[in-house]
Amino acid sequence: MAKSELRNRANWQTISGFRALKTEKKFRSSLQEALNSAFPDQFKVEKAKDFKDIYSTYILPDDVLEKIYNVDVVDSSGNPKYSWGIDMDFAIRNTKNKKTLFGEIKRQDGWVETTSSTAGRGNAHERSCKYFTPGLLKVIRDKSGISDDILPFWIIFVGDITRDPRRNREIAFWFQEYKHNFYMWRDTENISDMLDFFENNLLPYLL
């Protein structure tokens, strides 16, 4: 498949109608439209609810339970009483082979020409580091089913953080050998660039 197949085959009249949507919805709708054009009925791009109770269903050892405020986390039928977990912004699912790439869109201010260095002091980007923890990385990878050559998640950054000289270095340092698992969507009106990045760097792992 040509490296611009998604962009070239997408219905841009339809995609142009998504531009007024919020970034998360614009991303999901645009990518879904492009994938539908190249792979009819094969991919589904949606909010990810796969991990909504991974914390509430995690079993703590007895010696910990004895020292904390312990509550029943399941009902009389054995079902979880609480939804302590994570909701990710999207899941890109290949419905044929069941491979899935999960991800989040992180918006943050940043240090650019019109602001001061303190403008980049938010921590949305730091919250994305939780996906590198052993527990989350394992459960997401097990559910994803994709190759170990890449991470099972894709973090998309938007806002001035994408041009911040300090934050760009931080994020690139974190990901290093997995540079394709994050994307600086500097112009969210440029849907073509996003589609090309996904197709060239991530789509092959879903096929």
pLDDT above 90: residue 96: yes
pTM to 2 decimal places: 0.92
Number of alpha carbons in the 13 Å side-chain half-sphere of residue 117: 2
C-beta atoms surrounding 158 within 10 Å:
20
Lowest mean pLDDT among 55-59, 99-103, 122-126, 160-164: 122-126
Q: Are 140 and 102 in contact (CB under 8 A)?
A: yes
**pLDDT confidence of residue 8:** 85
**pLDDT confidence of residue 20:** 66
Tell me which amino acid residue 6 is. L
Domain map (residue ranges) of the chain: 5-51+87-206, 52-85
Average of pLDDT values for 43-51? 97
Structure-token pair, residue 23: 């970034």
Does the domain at residues 5-51+87-206 carry the CATH identifier 3.40.580.10? yes
How much is the mean pLDDT over the chain?
93
Instruction: Return the higher-pLDDT residue of 121 and 109.
Output: 109
Average of pLDDT values for 147-167? 96
